[in-house]
Structures are given as C-alpha cells and as structure tokens.
Amino acid sequence: ILNVEQSPQSLHVQEGDSTNFTCSFPSSNFYALHWYRWETAKSPEALFVMTLNGDEKKKGRISATLNTKEGYSYLYIKGSQPEDSATYLCACVTPISGTYKYIFGTGTRLKVLA
Amino acid sequence: GAVVSQHPSWVICKSGTSVKIECRSLDFQATTMFWYRQFPKQSLMLMATSNEGSKATYEQGVEKDKFLINHASLTLSTLTVTSAHPEDSSFYICSARVPGPPFYEQYFGPGTRLTVT
C-alpha cells in the first residue's frame, strides 16, 4: 500500500513568520507530485505540480522543492499572512493498473495569527 | 478554466434512504472523473474511477452496489449512496481529469458533507 505522509499535522504561526511543511512519499513508482491549498468549503486549489528530481517551483511567497530519490517534497511560505491560513495537501501521482492515481497525504493545517 | 462543481455541498439524510451527489465539469469535457472519500483525520481516499459511457472501476473494499456511479455525459458524474447508514457519513469529493497531456491533471470540486442520522 502506497503511503504519503505530511508533517506537521497542524501549526500556528505569527503573521510575518516563514514556515515549511514536509510531504514524504514512496520513491519507487513515482510520476509526479502535486501541492494543493484547500480552504474550507472550497475546491482544493492547485499550487504546484513537480515531476523531476531537484524541481523547484515558486509562486509569490510560496515555493516548493522535490527530491524523488529520497521521496520528499518541501513547501515553503515566506512571510506568512492570515490569508495563507488553509490546509495544504500533497498528492503523489503514481501509475497503477494502467492509469494514474493520486495518493494523498492527510494535509497540514496552517493557521496564521494576525 | 478547469472548474468543477459539486452539489449539494452538504446533506443530512435518514438511515436507509439514498442520496445522490452530482459532479460537473463546467468549462471542459471530462471523460474520466474520480470520487474520493475522507473520514475525519484521514486522507482523501479514492473510491472509484468514473468513465463516460462505461462502468465505473471501484477500489478494493468499496461496494459497487452501495455506491452507484453514473457518468452519462462528458460533463456530469453522479454518486448515489444507496440505503445510507451512519457509517457512510463522510466527506465526498469528486475530481475530473482534464483532457490532453500530461494526462494526469485532476481538478476538484468543493466536496459534499454527508451526515446520516
């Protein structure tokens, strides 16, 4: 059974702090990794998709890195703002039985305090 | 672009009744849609893959007669929870695969919270 783990499960940071989360996944059978930002009652919003070892992606104050050999990805938020409060999900895309399946982590719930 | 809607956003039903959840791709045609379920403090788990015009493919442990999936058009898939019981109370979310490369991108609906009393 493929297992994707995220840590920490939740955290509170002060406005202006920088923070980072981890997504760990099996390095075998890896195809791609997605990061999503998910606010309550909304659709998960795609942040990044990464496929190559060493990939780094950036969108404003948020960036992500990927290490497929050791099976982890980091998501960084620089200068956190209250509007960054959300659950951050990662999903490992893996080919299974002739199709691509998403294996999700449990998410990291971020609360940014003003 | 790539917007997926889901209806209803929440529903409360009595034990033994059936509930239908709709998933629509609003601005693209989706030959493949997916249904996930999330129990508290757990990750989103794939229940089934819904293919337009053919039978859905269910993941191991998911009862196909209990969770009926119909994907009758390129923009609509429905999940019907038949004879719902309290243990079916969960968060159900659908996604749709965007056609074309890279062939694995999925866009998600906002989900449906089902409570069975």
3-state secondary structure A41-85: CCCCEEEEEECCCCCEEEECCEEEEEECCCCEEEEEECCCCHHHC
Q: Is it the case that residue B9 has pLDDT exceeding 80? A: yes
Chain A contact present for B9, CB below 8 A: yes
The Cα–Cα gap between B24 and B36 comes to 15
* Residue B2 confidence (pLDDT) above 90: no
Q: Give the pLDDT of residue B1.
A: 65
Nearest to A43 among B34, B104, B109 (CB): B109
With pLDDT > 90 as the criterion, what percentage of chain A qualifies? 83
Confidence of residue A52 (pLDDT cuts 50, 70, 90): very high
Both tokens of A9, joined, read 């499960």
- Return d(Cα A9, Cα A30) in angstroms, integer: 23
A-chain residues near B4 (CB < 8 A): 43
Please give the DSSP secondary-structure letter assigned to residue B110: -
CA atoms of A79 and A59, how far apart (whole Å)? 13
**pLDDT for the residue numbered B83:** 96
**Test the B interface: residue of A88, A102, A108, A109 with most B CBs within 10 Å:** A102
CB-based contacts of A38, cutoff 8 Å, min separation 6: A44, A45, A86, A87, A88, A89, A107
Smallest Cα distance from A104 to chain B, Å: 6
Question: What backbone torsions phi and psi does residue A83 show, to the nearest 5 degrees?
Answer: -70, -10
DSSP, res B86:
G
The pLDDT value given to residue B98 = 81
Smallest Cβ distance to A41: which of B9, B103, B105?
B9
A110 touches chain B (CB under 8 A): no
- A71–B contact, CB cutoff 8 A: no
Find out whether B36 and B46 touch, Cβ atoms under 8 Å.
yes
Judged by phi (left if over 0) then psi (alpha if -120 to 50, else beta), residue B97 lies in beta
Provide the shortest C-alpha distance from residue B112 to chain A (in Å).
Answer: 9
Contacts of A105 in chain B (CB under 8 A): 43
Q: Which of 27-56 (A) contact B at CB < 8 A?
A: 31-32, 36, 41-44, 46, 49
- Segment B63-82 shows an average pLDDT of 94
Assign 3-state DSSP to chain B and report helix, strand, coil percentages, each to 5.
5, 50, 45
- Chain-chain contact of A4 with B43 (C-beta, under 8 angstroms): yes
pLDDT at residue A15, as a whole number: 97
Share of chain A above pLDDT 70, in %: 99
**Taking the C-alpha atoms of A77, A80, A82 and A84 in order, what is their torsion angle to the nearest 10 degrees?**
-10
* Paired tokens of A79: 């200068």
Is B42 part of the contact surface with chain A (CB cutoff 8 Å)? yes
pLDDT recorded at residue B100: 74
Q: Chain A contact for B8, CB < 8 A?
A: no
- Find the mean pLDDT for residues A84-97: 92
